[in-house]
Amino acid sequence: FWEAAEALAARMEATSDRLDDQIKAGYRYAFGRYPSDETTTVLTDLALEASLPVAANAILNLDAFLTKE
């Protein structure tokens, strides 16, 4: 799953120079919609503390991505 997170992070980085726009793009790629402001803040903080691939991995590990309603 880490390889998928790295690929998503690379795609996110290609969208913008701004981290918050990269986070929004990655979330949109995964879910087809933009994240809430709160989700954007949490994922941006994670990317700042760790790295963009870690934030991408978090997106791919969200329940909404892993389960089908």
Per-residue pLDDT of 13-47, as tens digits, reads 999 999 999 999 999 999 999 999 999 999 999 99
Query: Which pLDDT score, from 0 to 100, does residue 34 have?
Result: 95
Q: Which residues contact 55 (CB under 8 A, 6 or more apart)?
A: 9, 23, 26, 43, 44, 46, 47
DSSP symbol at 32: S
Residue 1: which of 64, 59, 68 has the closest Cα? 59
Distance (Å, whole) CA 45 – CA 66: 22
**pLDDT recorded at residue 68:** 60
- pTM assigned to the model: 0.89
